[in-house]
Amino acid sequence: MNVTSLIYNQKLPYYSWLPWDAKKSRLNYAAAAIFQNGAVLCSAFIIVGFDTLFTGIVGYTSCQIKILQGAFRTVRERVLRKMNVPNVPLVKDPPEIEAEIMKELKSCMRSLQVIFNMCEKLESIFTYITLGQVLISLVVFCTCLYLTSTLSLSDPKFFVEFIYLVAVEIQIYIYCYFGNKVTLRGEDVPLSIYESDWFALSEDYKRSMLITMTRMRKPIYLTIGKFSPLTLSTFVTIGRASYSFFAVLKNSN
């Protein structure tokens, strides 16, 4: 068998339908290999771009909540600095200071509402896409576990399947990590409001504080298909479900 026949009879990287015979010539084989690898690379770039977009927006939302926590915590301090008034403990602030503090509080509350609206839009755009991603990853994780259990450690295919398994798990972990971060930051907002210097402020301010703190009892969640929150506990649940399916598949075999 000559070198040419060895080249033509080589297996392509993936099984796929081609509109030409890859074994007919060296050029056909090279074109088929480029065609297959190009499709995989395009798919990889799309997945990376989507993951980066989602995690970037969610990470930005988390940072905005963190900034807003500091804004709530320092409302009175910032107003006094702006008005060049010394920050001294008082039983009751003058009316002009109270008015400015209420303005600043309302500005923070409007910013909080913008964050709520952003989370709702993220939820409406990504929730079902995330559901599909999680379901596919669950199946991939289960099948990879099954394949690795049938291979020996010395088999090169074992490391290929194991690396792919870890990559899928890292992808889902990143989703759940950033979703969990937004939820935790939202839960810290009431504490930030309580830690503000509110003792000398008006009843209207304290009432607004309580309303905002009561509203934040409802957690900020990004969900998977609107039925499961995107948190680290969900990530653990996905891992357990995948392992359970793997155990059933292994026992049935």
Sorted by where each begins, the domain ranges of the chain are 64-252
pLDDT per position as a tens digit, 27-37: 888 888 888 88
Using CA atoms, how far apart are residues 130 and 123, in angstroms rounded to an integer? Answer: 10
Query: What pLDDT score does 4 carry?
Result: 46
- 224 strand-pairing partners: 228
Q: What does the longest C-alpha to C-alpha distance in the chain come to?
A: 98
Residues in the chain: 253
Contact 242, 138 (CB under 8 A): yes
Tell me the pLDDT band of 5, cut-offs 50, 70 and 90: very low
Write the pLDDT tens digit of every residue in 107-132: 999 999 999 999 999 889 888 988 88
Structure-model confidence comparison of residues 225 and 15, the more confident one: 225
pLDDT in tens, 148-192: 888 887 887 788 888 888 888 888 888 899 999 999 999 999 999
